[in-house]
Amino acid sequence: MKFFVDTAEIDAIAELNELGMVDGVTTNPSLILKSGRNILEVTKEICDLVEGPVSAEVVSLKADEMITEGRKLAEIAPNVTVKVPLTWDGLKACKVLSGEGKMVNVTLCFSANQALIAAKAGATFISPFIGRLDDVNLDGMELIADIREIYDNYGFETQILAASIRTVNHVSDAAKIGADVMTAPPAVIRKLAEHPLTDKGLAAFVADWEKTGQTIL
C-alpha cells in the first residue's frame, strides 16, 4: 500500500519523507487555508520535496473553469495530480485533463457507482471518504471493498485512494481489503508505530538494563 500524507505542512511532510513514509501528498482547500500559504507556492514546494503524486484541488464548480484551473495547477510540476470533485462537471473535467495526459484524483466519492463512472472518465485515483461515511452510520470499508471488486472485475487501472482516514484501524482495514493507496494526516501515520505493549516491554528492558550497570558506548 502506498502512503500519501494528507497535509500542506512542509515540516510534517519532510519528517515523514526522511523515513520513507511518503509516496505522495494530498491537499485540499481546507488544508491550504490551514497552512496559511499561497496554493501555487506551497504546491511547488511540496512537489520539489517528494517524488510521488501531489494532489492539488481545483475550486471552481463548472467544467470549463475546472479544466482551466487544472491546467494551471499541472504546470507547477510534473508530479502534480489535479484533484476534481465527483460531480458531473468534475467528471467532464477529468475526462479532458486525463485525455491530455495529466494525473487526476477524483475526490468526495461516497458510492460504488460514483467510483465506477470516475474510472470510466479516466481517473488516475478515486478517493472514497471512509471517515465521513462512518460519521453517518455507514461502513466506509464496505465501500472500499465494493470498489475493489468492481475494479478487479473489469480491469480498471484507476487506483483506490482511501481517504478521510482517521484511525490506525482504518489504515490496516483498507490495506487488507486491497486499497492501492491511503492518505492520512501525519498524526495518524505516526500512530501506526504505537502499541501499549511495545511501551511496556521497552520500559521493562530499560529497567533491567539499568540494573546491570553496563554501558554499550
- Tell me the per-residue pLDDT of 41-65, one tens digit each, with 9 for 90 and over: 999 999 999 999 999 999 999 999 9
- CA distance between the termini of the chain: 38
pLDDT band at 145 (very low <50, low <70, confident <90, very high): very high
Out of 44, 72, 83, 211, pick the active-site residue.
Answer: 83
Q: Is 213 left (phi over 0), alpha (psi -120 to 50) or beta?
A: left
Q: Give tens-digit pLDDT for 174-203.
A: 999 999 999 999 999 999 999 999 999 999
DSSP three-state, residue 207: helix
- pLDDT mean over 96-103: 98
Give the architecture (CATH level 2) of 2-212. Alpha-Beta Barrel (3.20)
Q: Where are the domains of the chain?
A: 2-212
Query: pTM score, two decimals?
Result: 0.95
What is the C-alpha to C-alpha distance for residues 179 and 217, in angstroms, rounded to an integer? 44
Is 95 assigned a catalytic role? no
